[in-house]
Amino acid sequence: MKKQLLQILTSLFFLFLLAGQDAKAQMPTGSICPDFTGTDLNGNTWHLYDLLNQGKTVVIDVSAAWCGPCWGFHNMHTLKDLWNHHGPSGTISQDMVALFIEGEGQNTEAQLHGTSGSGALSSQGDWVTGEPYPFIDDANIANTLQIGSFPTIYVVCPDRSVTEIYWEDATEAALVALSGSCALSTTTLDAGIMEPALLNPLLIGCDNLDVSARLCNYGSTALTSATIEYVVDGTVQDSYAWTGNLATYENAVMTNGGTVTGSPGDHTVTIRVTNPNNGSDLVSSNNSKDQDFHIYETTGGGAFSNDMESGQLTPAGWHFLNAENDGYFFIAGNAGYDSDKGIVAEFYYAPNGNTYELYAPEINLSTFTNPVVEFDVAHAAYSNSAQDKLKVMAMTCSGTWVELYNKKANTNPDAVNALSTVGPVTSGEWVPSSDSDWRHDVVPLTQFSNDQSVVIKFVAISGYGNTLLIDNINVRNGGVGIDESAAEVGLQVYPNPFSNQTNVYYNVEGMEDVTVRVYNLTGQEVYSNDFGLQTAGQHNFQINGENFASGMYVMNLTIGNKTVSQKLSVTK
């Protein structure tokens, strides 16, 4: 939690945070909340699923006694009012429960009563006196709930589904409204499909796509059987006969329960449940949910250029995946290299490990001799341990994803495979201030030059470091540029074509890391070698092709931050 908290805590706590903790990915809205049991300061036991099984909505405030915004939320008196009006003895209803979880593992109960020390033992005041709701001092529960920052406010419906709400928005009225949107058990036989997007965050592929579904029992009678249907364009393409035993509000996941397909383009699958317990469902409104999917074209389009000026992260043909749905990867103004708009990845805030995948449209490279994908990039490292990453990968429908580019944060922007383009920035969220803060990267796609449908994706991974920006993503025929790169490093391959062995010669300008990868035309890696640091001068190595089948191959030779490609021909 180093940086979110650094912005809001006193200087007294500054050193503690720097020595402390990284943010974690929080549960996305729509997740199934894990169960927990906690004992409050009065010795009472609270079991989450027992409360949910009673049809109650549970509001969970995970805070820390030292946390300023947590104290701000506490002084809004939201939980106190909620408990008095809608708690177990509420004056308006009795259908909600509020729980306070102390999520700091290094402090003691004394901090909740206002005893303040230093660092983790500091306290904003007396949290407990005059409050009617339970206080549970158990950091293990915070870990179970995947807390990434304090305070975190979760609203958990009886069916275990979670909604996170920002603390300043978490008024009593807002929490009651969220509770009112929860699906409740109102009859004996009621099977429902829960939101499928978290199970299938991005359904794209070449042909048959496996679709998962979550079935929930909203009836008071145990659910023991049902049929799950997968409907595309009005036709049931697949079905799954589920059997089990679900009590009220329990749910079950059918992983890859159905398979769908369609003509190239965009489609929608409707996942629906029928025949619960071989009978008629008494509530039809929750019987189905829709999920979009995309089937790749067998022949992609031509070269493309995306300068981000449309302001759309996913214009026609583009797709985006962020399972956490955290909002830290977007198009923004004043974020481009040579124009206004560009992609911003706010790794300064995004929890460590959160991943963002941007898929470009299918492209036909069969007429390209030296295809490349190029883009402008800017990044500032926070530290070498905060490992922000950017990868570029490609695949065809007949192959698997091939990693073509992988760079990481480095406080030395001149280091080998450094993603960073400037020195470290720890004073706040970084933004480029001049063209010199950017770098133009070119990634060879030579191994895909015979393929009619190639998909390229950019994978950005937060290391909880600092800002990454991307602009001007283009795919073009590299032509002379690739040849110039090969000439620049003195690349020579002899003999080529070859039968069993060939020799590769190249030049190194200074102390550089050198690696080589060889791929067949399906994208499978057939040879690799990491030579480590090599001194300035000419070097050479041999590729043993005795086990290579006849055909064309692509060699990617990486010297420092530069990658050059060379086609290899094997004849037997």
Per-residue pLDDT reduced to its tens digit, 248-283: 999 999 887 799 999 999 999 999 999 999 999 999
pLDDT at 84 over 80: yes
pLDDT at 480 over 80: no
Distance, CA of 128 to CA of 114 (rounded, Å): 9
**Percent of the chain with pLDDT strictly greater than 90:** 72
The mean predicted confidence, pLDDT, of the chain is 90
pLDDT the model gives residue 25: 57
How far is the CA of 4 from the CAs of 18, 101, 363, 387, in angstroms?
12, 20, 41, 18
Average pLDDT over residues 154-170: 96
**Percent of the chain with pLDDT strictly greater than 70:** 94
Distance, CA of 257 to CA of 279 (rounded, Å): 21
Average pLDDT over residues 118-137: 95
306-353 pLDDT tens trace:
999 999 999 989 999 998 888 999 999 999 998 889 999 999 999 889
Average pLDDT over residues 469-485: 72
Distance, CA of 299 to CA of 30 (rounded, Å): 37
Residue 223 corresponds to which tokens in the numbers above? 């659910």
Q: Which amino acid is at 37?
A: T
Q: What is the chain's Cα-based Rg? A: 28
- Structure letter (DSSP) for residue 112: H
Picking from 17-31, 247-261, 438-452, which range would have the lowest pLDDT averaged per residue? 17-31
Distance, CA of 281 to CA of 275 (rounded, Å): 7
Q: In sequence order, what are the beta bridge partners of 135?
A: 100
pLDDT at 15 over 60: no
The two beta strands, 204-205 and 288-295, are parallel
pLDDT at 40 over 70: yes
Residue 14's pLDDT band (cuts 50, 70, 90): very low
pLDDT the model gives residue 397: 87
Please report which residue ranges of 54-105 form alpha helices under DSSP H.
68-74, 78-86
Residue 522's pLDDT band (cuts 50, 70, 90): low
SS3 track for 123-180: CCCECCCCCCCCEEECHHHHHHCCCCCCCEEEEECCCCEEEEECHHHCCHHHHHHHHH
Pick the closest to residue 218 from 196, 240, 243, 251 (CA basis). 251
pLDDT at 481 over 60: no
Buried-exposed string 76-86: b where 16+ CB fall within 10 A, e elsewhere = eebbbbbbbeb
Are the C-beta atoms of residues 481 and 371 closer than 8 Å to each other?
no
185-229 pLDDT tens trace:
999 999 999 999 889 989 999 889 999 999 999 999 999 999 999
Q: Give the DSSP H/E element, type plus range, for residue 99.
A: strand 96-102
Terminal-to-terminal C-alpha distance of the chain? 59
Residue 572's pLDDT band (cuts 50, 70, 90): confident
For residue 476, report the phi and psi dihedrals to the nearest 5 degrees: -150, 170
pLDDT the model gives residue 338: 80
Which domains are assigned to the chain? 2-180 (3.40.30.10), 191-295 (2.60.40.10), 304-478 (2.60.120.200), 483-570 (2.60.40.3080)
pLDDT the model gives residue 6: 37
pLDDT at 153 over 50: yes
pLDDT the model gives residue 20: 31
Residue 86's pLDDT band (cuts 50, 70, 90): very high
| 192 burial via Cβ count (<10 Å: 0-12, 13-18, 19+) | buried
Residue 18's pLDDT band (cuts 50, 70, 90): very low
Distance, CA of 240 to CA of 143 (rounded, Å): 35
Average pLDDT over residues 512-529: 83
